[in-house]
A = this chain, B = another copy of it.
Amino acid sequence: MIIDRLIEKINATGNPTVVGLDPRLSYIPAYITEKYFTKYGNTKKAAAKAMLKFNKKIIDAVYDIVPAVKPQIAMYERYGTEGIKAYESTVEYAKLKGLIVIGDIKRSDIASTGEAYSDGHLGCAEINGEKFPGFPHDFITLNPYLGSDSITPFLKDCKEYEKGVFVLAKTSNPNSGELQDLICDGRPIYEHVGALIEKWGQDFIGSYGYSSVGAVVGATHKEQAERLRAIMPHTFFLVPGYGAQGGTAEDLSVCFKDGIGAIVNSSRGIIAAHLKDEYKLCYNDERNFAMAARQACLDMKNDLRRCI
């Protein structure tokens, strides 16, 4: 089970942190961007190449102290097919370095369409009987709005290719409650979704009691996370919202149970650490941006371990 491999990597590094690889041009030091803009002009290709270079430097600096990375595909789709190429190369490079990769793609569609997404992101596309793997993700994120039959195609590939998914339950954004907190039959929608996720994971429970069908539960909603932890005993949580979005280690500590059960994402807080006052002084040469990211991972580890 892929969830066991994730938990073992978390234990080995002692760090339940996933680095969100959501690069923006404004985060990337000029010595990198200038190189590509000089070579390729102001083009999507140059932007995408700079992002990939930036990601590789970050990965090189953190791969031994974190279990996983989570590239956000939107940041790459922004630059069209060139961006998607950089996304693919980022996923491949992270895998090469031994990291677990969570593709943050939040896809969702009816079953026959879901199969196509799953072929591209978890399983294989078949061409004249030959199988061609998609992006080499270990996990992807999914949106539950369409219901069980939209999730089934991905579960089939989770079984066949030993992969996992994280399904949105309670998201970290300010308006998440607009639909997710509506009360039906005495409990909010996100709990209904939580119960479904727990059910979808039944056949995927690994050696540590958690299933490869996880849930996205925002760090910005402590009470809700606490309640979800209680009703989803076998579900591993992917927790966004720490740091830049306002979630604290204290808030999200309720996502853990006996020190495990969740992995916490930070994107800006790590990959743009070199732009923050607290790291600027030590890493004032822009060429040290990846070392600032490494230090931010260690600081986040200490902050989390204080509370869990």
Contacts and interface: CB of A to CB of B under 8 A. Distances in A.
A145 interface: yes
A96 interface: no
Interface string A135-177: 1000000011111111000000000000000001001111111
Contacts of A146: 168, 171, 173, 175-176
Q: Which of A80, A81, A145, A183 has the most CB of B within 10 A?
A: A145
B173 A74 contact: no
**Copy total for this chain:** 2
Contact of A125 (B47, B135, B149, B183): B47
Contacts of A125: 44, 47, 78-79
A113 B22 contact: yes
B44 A132 contact: yes
Interface stretch (A104-112, A206-214, A283-291): A104-112
B128 A78 contact: no
A75 interface: yes
Interface in A84-120: 84-85, 88, 106-111, 113-114, 116-117, 119-120
Contacts of A113: 22, 72, 74-75
Contacts of A108: 106, 143
A12 interface: no
B120 A79 contact: yes
Contacts of A143: 106, 108, 143, 145
A57 interface: no
Contact of A128 (B37, B77, B114, B121): B37
A193 interface: yes
Contacts of A127: 25, 42-44, 46-47
A277 interface: no
Contacts of A147: 173, 175-180
Interface string A168-207: 1001111111111011110001001100100000000000
A81 B85 contact: yes
Contacts of A176: 146-147
Nearest to A88: B81
A171 to B, nearest CB: 5
A83 interface: yes
B25 A80 contact: no
A192 B175 CA distance: 14
Given A25-B127, A46-B127, A81-B84, 20 more contacts: A37-B128, A42-B130, A44-B132, A72-B116, A74-B109, A74-B113, A74-B114, A78-B119, A78-B134, A80-B120, A83-B120, A110-B173, A143-B145, A145-B168, A146-B168, A146-B175, A147-B177, A149-B175, A182-B185, A183-B184
28 contacts: A42-B128, A42-B130, A44-B127, A44-B132, A72-B116, A74-B113, A74-B114, A74-B120, A75-B113, A77-B120, A78-B125, A79-B132, A80-B134, A84-B84, A106-B107, A106-B108, A145-B145, A145-B180, A146-B173, A146-B175, A146-B176, A147-B173, A148-B175, A148-B178, A149-B174, A150-B175, A179-B193, A184-B189
